Structure 1
Amino acid sequence: MSKAATSTPWRATVLGSQVAELLRRPGRFAATGLSLLIAAFVVFGTVMAQEIISATVVERFRGTPEAVSVVVTPGDDGEDIGEDRLREIRKTPSVAEAVGRIDGGSPLDGSAVERYLELSADPGTGALAEVRLVTGTYPSGRGRLAVNTQAAREYGLAPGSSLTLLRPEPDGDGTRRVTVEVSGIVRSTATDDARPTGYAPGPHLGELLGVTGYSRVDIRTDTASSASSASSASSASPGSSGSGSASAQLAERIRQAVPGAQVRSGDEVRDQEAREAVAEAKDVLELFTAFLAVAVGAAVLVATSTFRIVFARRVRQLALLRAIGASPRRIAAALVAEGAVVGLLAGATGVLAAWGCGQLVPPLARRFGHELFASPHLPLTEAVLTVAGTGLLAVLAVLAPSLAASRVSPLEALRSAASGESTASGIGRTLLGLLCAAGAALLAWQQYDGLPRPGDTEYDRFAALTLVVLSGGLAFLALIALGPRLVRPVLSALAVPLRRTGAAGRLAVAGVGGAPGRAASVSVVVALGVCLVGSTLTCLASLSAYERYRQAVEAPADFSLYARDSESLDRSLAADLASHPELTDVTAFRTAEVVESTRGATVSDLDLDTVRSGVGLTARTGSLGDLGPAHVVVDADHAHRLGVRAGDRVTLEFEGRPVRLTVAATLPGAGPYGGNFFVPTADLTRMGADAAPTTVTANASEDGAPGRIRAQRAITDTLTGPERGDGRVVAEESAGQAGGSDDLRTMATTVIMVLGLTVLVAVAGVATTASLTVVERKREFGLLRALGLNGAAVHRMVTVECALYGVLGGILGLALGMPYSWLVVRVAETSAPFSVPAGELAAVFTALVLVTAAAGTVPALRASRTSPTVAVARSE
């Protein structure tokens, strides 16, 4: 018998038949691998983003000057390096230049508002200088300072200006004033220099600060001497490294000059500084990476659904393999191998696409004026891991569909069509879903029952949030298991308005409802994206409202003035401040001590409408506008302890006399300026409080540094004189009003962008499902065309079906996300008001429906072109 007769064609094997199917229908391969390709692209795209950020930060970072060859710092004893030691270092062979660094600071006089200037020693010129002169001259003698651009802008300084530093007396008793002249304005070359700072040469600054040592010495070596030493060392020891030996010799000489000192090379210090800078820049990427698991999980769900549809389409082929003797185990193994091949190819394609995009980012950024850098080399280890991981994800995604498909009966070969619906939505799946739902509800109720109360400082929020996330995970698993049973009720409600749109709407509802398992598989992924994005938006709105409230409480005004020793201020102080055009919103109010139950508290007549950003002050119960005679606003802590809310009565005791008041509103947190109870001015006067104010607040008339400088001068002029001078009135400035909100908004925006990847994967799943469904339902579309439905109506029907996936996912996602959003807000900050951004959620919902509808455009076009003759053609 010939070899040709005995050999088995590769297409005749089980695995070979699957490979042949892939080669015959590459479109199905693309459909099954699309979501995995997106996951690989996103994961490796994150790797490329880290590479770009690291390269850019290292390239831009400026810390220790490049000319510094050696850095000397004090040893374990912490004693600074004295001037005599610095001279010994300068005498060391190969040392061309050595400068001492001093870091300190001092409060400034000349303003009633406290100001502070950091001080740093720098030569000002030469290779080791960390500053560059902008205007004026660099100080070369005593009593002179150069200030950086930040100090010049915030304190209104220029060459020729004078500064008065408040320095402690040598004996530590009292304060002395040291006046210095600003000789010039400099700009620091350090990347992280953003604070008002003054500079002077080391000896002069040390004398000014009253210190006799340096916290660090930077050394520049003599290149010629170093080369000579290296040559000599190399001749003496042919087998050793000349440069390494010379560096070791120099380090040893310095240690002899400065016993116990730590000596490091400049390259080592710069590398450490760059690593620290990169670590700070990667904080956002770490947050990004933490949410990648969500997008990857969504990709697995979509891939699982896609594999199930593809395998259901090939049920006759699998039945024929069973009929000719293939065992379920061999078929399942072949299908898993097919999935692994799809995953590896999708992973490789995604990695190459992400790497190519990463190489395009820097040149495109430069065209828009942004300087970015990237390594031209492919991170091979990360690429291999990404491809292998994608293959593993594909195996996990294909496992359940392959096991279900391998159990097909040989009799299926005689059938002409397959429904594609698995029997997984039976009793077992329902019981699993109910079990997960019960576990989620139990954990959620446990956290609800243990929510912190105002003032509770021992509540473990991290543990509580972890359990809330676990509860949400169980709830989502329940949604996956019960999805097929939830689709039909939701569709029944949606069918009412869709029936009025004509035949296309009715047929779209029937098409989605006819395959509830498939509809649930796609809609659940959409629901995951909507749930996470909607929850993030809701939590952001709630926490932003609380952040505005917190800022209004902690920094109600730009400036606050109060008496240092006495209990009240001059009654004319507010009027004097208001007479300055540089100040606005000047407000005076009183505070007094009262007794609530047996505990002391503070009552104030501060008008809450005058607090900065009054919209940021909100009420937890009642309304702040209801504050009137015989009424009171109570902070959250006292409201909780007294168990009162708007409309209840409270009794306060002032100087032994009880005062009964009605609660107009309760605050979500603490009150401004430490107030616990807020009453109208007339009520506080009737209680017997002194008429003189205890605090006066004011805002700068103009925003920005110039406006604050003019406001500070106005306050200083007002407080100058024997009646209010000599520090008897303290003026404090509030700074950084929006920092917390900006950080919160940046973090939330990053999270939403990452979670948007989940929505992208879901949309890809809708497009894939629609494409495979169109192929599967050719005869159905042909029959509809034969019955008189035109191509445009078929196009509308498929488009509406895809839109319904978005509607189903949006409804299920919001229904799941809103309760957990409320719980997360309460756990994270019990005082935060729960705020639902209805407009933003509606926009997200609408955009999602439009995008999922758009995802079905191409499949709908293919379906509309189906010929009526297909209705009588044989199924493939």
Structure 2
Amino acid sequence: MNPRLVLGQLRANAVRYLGTVLAIAVAVGFVLASVGVLRTISASADATFGLRYAGTSVLVQNLGDRTSAGSDAGRAEAAEAQRLGLEAIASTPGVRAVTVDTRSYVRVRVEGRAQQMTTATALSSDDDLRWQRLASGRLPDGPGEVAVRADSDIPLGASFEVRPSGRSDPSPVTVVGLFDLSGQPDLEAAFPLYTVDDQIQQWSQAGAGGDVRVAGDGSVPDPVLAARIAERLSDLPGTSAVEVSTGTAEAEALAESFVGGRDVYTRALLAFTVLAVAVASLVIATTFAVVFAARVRETALLRCLGASRLQLRLSGAAEALVVAALATGLGLALGRTGVSAATELAPRLGVTIPLQEVTVPPGAYALAAAVGLGVTLLTALPALWRATAGSPLAALRPTDVLPDPWWRRLVMVLAGSAVAAAGWTAMGSAVDSRSVVEAGAWGVLTFLGVLAVTTGALPTLLGVIGTAVGPALGPVGLLGARNTARSPRRTAATSAAVLVGVTLTSTMVTGIALLGPAIESRLVDRVPLDVAVTSPDGILPGALPEQLAGLDGVAESLVVVDMYARDDEGRRTVLRVADPARVAEVMRREITLPGPGEIVLPESSPVAAGARDGDTVRFRFFTDDDARDLVVRRTTDQWALADPGSVPDWPPALTPDGAPWPEGLEVPQEFVPRTEQWLRMEGGLEGERLEAALDGVRSAVVEADPSLAVTETFASREQVAGSVRTVLTSSALLLAVAVALALVGVVNTLTLSVRERTREIGLLRGVGVTRAGVWRMLVLETALVALSASALGVALGAAFGRLGAVAMTGPANAGNIALPVSDLVTVGVGGVAAAVLAACLASIGAARTRAAEI
């Protein structure tokens, strides 16, 4: 290898290598930017969904739960269990601080709004355990002061009334702080209040309880600390229903309930990294295939002058290494700058998630450098080997116009088909097992198989199509159409560039479009009931249910009877009694419904805590004489349900002597059944129409009785859905990078391909073809190749994108969502347009070639 020869070749081919350097640099930058952006998004998503457990080492649930106690003795017993439990936790080695998230349900009446049922939660006095971030104002420091969400449209200093559950006397409060809780999932209340523990205790007549969060001192791992606390609590009375877990586990469970797993971002990161490396490799390989194929005659002349194959191959490898080193350094700088620029421009792209500090892991630099150097050499050597193979005289004829033997194309088609079929089968199995990374790897293999089939079959297929449609395009058009079969390697390089770009973009467009609705369907799974209307005394105005059922936007309405169901230990729960068929109609998804002789209980309910699904338990209702033996069915939903025929009717009104209540005389409230009304809104409502329909419900409720409360899951669902959507729209950053890479790959390949056809174009000019004719021939040829490759790329991308979404969220959520047809059509048209535009621009200079230049 002669260094002068290497430097001379680099100078002589500087124009060719300029495009190659650009392609490699963009590919390297793409890999680095993909990892950096995804790591930033992943860290932001972790912070978003795990914020409330960020400082929590251990979480203890159901310790001293007084909400289910049916008597003062039961509540006192639960309070004592909580006191003893807190003492045991605080004295456990490794515990630094303990707080109780005391919570109570209250009704809030803000001027100009319908009364709302919401939650009031005590703030922790420990800074690390207080996860709420103060946006403005200050923390409440006594009763009468509250903090609310900054996005609740309640300003600092505003005052409103809070009506504790079970009491009629309102309690005025003042907003002293606003919390930035954007992105924090909370489906229990759309308008939560935060205040001091003393205020919560005043609002809860029966005593309030809540989860216990523990901060460790760092001396022991969180799982060990959780085991220690669980062991200590197991020896205390009244703690049989206590659940102990780590804060990390709870954060993962919380994210899983919304997006199918906190590690979905990590899995997406790994899968997209695999995709990024594969795409970058294909772009580099396509570029070098064009570069070295164009230097066949040059290599042959050097062979005639005495250069050996080994010298030329070593020289070419050195050229590729120098080009790769320069391009990789440029790509690393470009990628790191791109990550910072992308996160800074994120709000303009619609990304509202609070992105964390941008950090690119060292491994990302190593991976990107390996792609730039390793892939360049691996892809350059085969093209270099082909360019130096054979005799010098035979090599003087450019290899890009040598037709491949039919058997070689057939072998390529058969082998590619086998690889694609095997990859598709394995990818389907990986999707079924929800293994995103494995599915991504098999998807790359499937694409390589399809690419091989395309390389072998597309030139021949396009030649047949060109022969059929060419005459309609005139002699020049026929020549351009037939060129696709005459020069199979050039056709393969052009189609590969378009296919890679369109498939990548279509995959991301489809995945992003399907993931949003899929994750939102999980939100419906969390809260399938749209609206509930309740009264503080449990009695709804007689005319209200019919009025609400007839409002515009209300699809289904159901009046549910409420009563208490008590187990043998005196623990009780609110039981909703209604026709199961009607309950199914009002819910947005299927829930566990009771059959005859059954009672549906939430898994978290302490009532009949020891009963498993299918066990028979005796329940009491109004008196000890109306006991019923019911079969327990456990559910993950929040409601305890029973069929009307399985429980006693509400006691009828009787006079003191047992006679029927006189007609015309008002029935005392204790004999009036307690009810609430459930509403399901029409499915097509959204935006202003939905808000107008909800306003109609609120107005009707306020006019009927200002003390009634409307509980809407729309607001809280929208808060969480907004959080999920902003995380997903962060993918627009990656989509922008992917589109840039696809465009560079297509433009670079087409430009090099057209510029290297000087000899062919000069010959055409010599036989009388005009500049306009040459230009039209090149553009028509490119359009035909790009159109077929784009159509195949859109189909592949749609399939890959759907399978990726299914792997992340499951078939139940993503499997039945319609594809973004308009977006896919745009991508396909954009791929063809980019290829044709590149060909148009490159053909302007090529068409000026004269016959003397051949």
TM (norm. structure 2) is 0.61
Provide, for residues 491-542 of structure 1, a one-character-per-residue CA deviation record: whole Å limited to 9, x for no partner. 4325544543334422322333321122113312422343354456567777
Read off the aligned partner of 1:790 and give its amino acid letter: T
1:104 is aligned to 2:73: no
The equivalent residue for 1:119 is 121
Matches for 1:213-228 after TM superposition, within 5 Å = none
Offset of 1:851 from its aligned partner? 1.0
Read off the aligned partner of 2:121 and give its amino acid letter: L
CA distance in 2, matches of 1:554, 1:55: 25
The equivalent residue for 1:290 is 271
1:408 is aligned to 2:390: yes
The equivalent residue for 1:805 is 785
The equivalent residue for 2:31 is 43
The equivalent residue for 1:17 is 5
Which SS does the other structure have where 1:502 is aligned?
helix
The equivalent residue for 1:26 is 14
Provide, for residues 145-200 of structure 1, a one-character-per-residue CA deviation record: whole Å limited to 9, x for no partner. 4241469659999525232146xxxxxxxxx8886431334213677778644344
Offset of 1:26 from its aligned partner? 0.6
1:488 is aligned to 2:488: no
* One of 557, 576, 587 as aligned partner of 2:547: 576
Read off the aligned partner of 1:115 and give its amino acid letter: M
Provide, for residues 733-789 of structure 1, a one-character-per-residue CA deviation record: whole Å limited to 9, x for no partner. 566556787678667766676466555444434433333334432233223334443
Kindly tell me: are residues 163 and 57 of structure 1, through their superposed partners in 2, closer, same or farther at Cα, counting changes over 3 Å?
same
Where structure 2 has 5 or more consecutive residues not aligned to the other structure, the ranges are: 64-80, 91-95, 220-246, 256-260, 561-578, 591-639, 642-674
Kindly tell me: are residues 752 and 862 of structure 1, through their superposed partners in 2, closer, same or farther at Cα, counting changes over 3 Å?
same
Matches for 1:169-318 after TM superposition, within 5 Å = 180-188=171-179, 196-201=191-196, 205=200, 287=268, 290-318=271-299
The equivalent residue for 1:631 is none
1:526 is aligned to 2:498: yes
Read off the aligned partner of 2:442 and give its amino acid letter: L
Kindly tell me: are residues 444 and 492 of structure 1, through their superposed partners in 2, closer, same or farther at Cα, counting changes over 3 Å?
same
CA distance in 2, matches of 1:190, 1:554: 20
* One of 328, 345, 349 as aligned partner of 2:326: 345
Offset of 1:833 from its aligned partner? 3.9
Read off the aligned partner of 1:399 and give its amino acid letter: L
**Native 8 Å contact 2:27 2:284 kept in 1:** no
Offset of 1:394 from its aligned partner? 0.7
Kindly tell me: are residues 488 and 310 of structure 1, through their superposed partners in 2, closer, same or farther at Cα, counting changes over 3 Å?
same
Which SS does the other structure have where 2:399 is aligned?
coil
The equivalent residue for 2:648 is none
Kindly tell me: are residues 438 and 738 of structure 1, through their superposed partners in 2, closer, same or farther at Cα, counting changes over 3 Å?
farther
1:852 is aligned to 2:840: no
**Native 8 Å contact 1:107 1:115 kept in 2:** yes
Which SS does the other structure have where 1:420 is aligned?
helix
Read off the aligned partner of 1:392 and give its amino acid letter: G
Kindly tell me: are residues 350 and 742 of structure 1, through their superposed partners in 2, closer, same or farther at Cα, counting changes over 3 Å?
same
**Native 8 Å contact 2:296 2:399 kept in 1:** no
1:162 is aligned to 2:168: no
1:391 is aligned to 2:373: yes
The equivalent residue for 1:772 is 752
30-39 or 109-118, which moves further after superposition? 109-118
Which SS does the other structure have where 2:400 is aligned?
coil
Offset of 1:398 from its aligned partner? 1.0
Read off the aligned partner of 1:108 and give its amino acid letter: V
CA distance in 1, matches of 2:278, 2:139: 62
Kindly tell me: are residues 811 and 487 of structure 1, through their superposed partners in 2, closer, same or farther at Cα, counting changes over 3 Å?
farther
CA distance in 2, matches of 1:607, 1:378: 49
Provide, for residues 197-241 of structure 1, a one-character-per-residue CA deviation record: whole Å limited to 9, x for no partner. 4344455556766589997899xxxxxxxxxxxxxxxxxxxxxxx
**Native 8 Å contact 2:500 2:793 kept in 1:** yes
795-804 or 832-841, which moves further after superposition? 832-841
Provide, for residues 624-644 of structure 1, a one-character-per-residue CA deviation record: whole Å limited to 9, x for no partner. xxxxxxxxxxxxxxxxxxxxx
Offset of 1:301 from its aligned partner? 2.4
**Native 8 Å contact 1:52 1:374 kept in 2:** yes
Kindly tell me: are residues 794 and 851 of structure 1, through their superposed partners in 2, closer, same or farther at Cα, counting changes over 3 Å?
same
Matches for 1:571-650 after TM superposition, within 5 Å = 574-578=545-549, 584-585=553-554, 587-588=556-557
CA distance in 2, matches of 1:185, 1:100: 25
Larger Cα-atom Rg: 1
Between the two structures, name the one with larger relative contact order (CA 8 Å, sep ≥ 6): 2
Matches for 1:361-510 after TM superposition, within 5 Å = 383=365, 386-412=368-394, 415=396, 417-420=397-400, 427=407, 430-438=410-418, 440-441=420-421, 460-462=432-434, 470=442, 473-474=445-446, 476-494=448-466, 496-510=468-482
Read off the aligned partner of 1:306 and give its amino acid letter: T
Kindly tell me: are residues 761 and 803 of structure 1, through their superposed partners in 2, closer, same or farther at Cα, counting changes over 3 Å?
farther
Read off the aligned partner of 1:490 and give its amino acid letter: L
CA distance in 2, matches of 1:841, 1:703: 29
**Native 8 Å contact 1:103 1:119 kept in 2:** yes
Which SS does the other structure have where 2:502 is aligned?
helix
* One of 766, 775, 789 as aligned partner of 1:795: 775
**Native 8 Å contact 1:542 1:834 kept in 2:** yes
Offset of 1:346 from its aligned partner? 0.7
**Native 8 Å contact 2:24 2:327 kept in 1:** yes
Q: How many positions carry a matched residue from both structures?
A: 677
Kindly tell me: are residues 424 and 180 of structure 1, through their superposed partners in 2, closer, same or farther at Cα, counting changes over 3 Å?
farther
Read off the aligned partner of 2:748 and give its amino acid letter: T
Which SS does the other structure have where 1:865 is aligned?
coil
**Native 8 Å contact 2:271 2:440 kept in 1:** no
**Native 8 Å contact 1:791 1:864 kept in 2:** yes
CA distance in 2, matches of 1:129, 1:165: 26
Provide, for residues 457-486 of structure 1, a one-character-per-residue CA deviation record: whole Å limited to 9, x for no partner. xx9542699569737733532432551332
Offset of 1:698 from its aligned partner? 5.4
Read off the aligned partner of 2:177 and give its amino acid letter: V
The equivalent residue for 1:148 is 148
**Native 8 Å contact 1:351 1:386 kept in 2:** yes
**Native 8 Å contact 2:403 2:487 kept in 1:** no
Offset of 1:356 from its aligned partner? 4.6
Offset of 1:842 from its aligned partner? 2.6
Read off the aligned partner of 1:404 and give its amino acid letter: R
**Native 8 Å contact 1:139 1:184 kept in 2:** no
**Native 8 Å contact 2:133 2:179 kept in 1:** yes
CA distance in 1, matches of 2:828, 2:195: 60
Which SS does the other structure have where 1:521 is aligned?
helix
Where structure 1 has 5 or more consecutive residues not aligned to the other structure, the ranges are: 1-12, 65-69, 89-97, 167-175, 219-247, 249-268, 452-458, 592-601, 618-672, 675-692, 872-876
Offset of 1:867 from its aligned partner? 2.6
1:514 is aligned to 2:502: no
**Native 8 Å contact 1:559 1:697 kept in 2:** yes
Read off the aligned partner of 1:148 and give its amino acid letter: V
CA distance in 2, matches of 1:562, 1:371: 35
CA distance in 2, matches of 1:340, 1:297: 20
Kindly tell me: are residues 820 and 420 of structure 1, through their superposed partners in 2, closer, same or farther at Cα, counting changes over 3 Å?
same
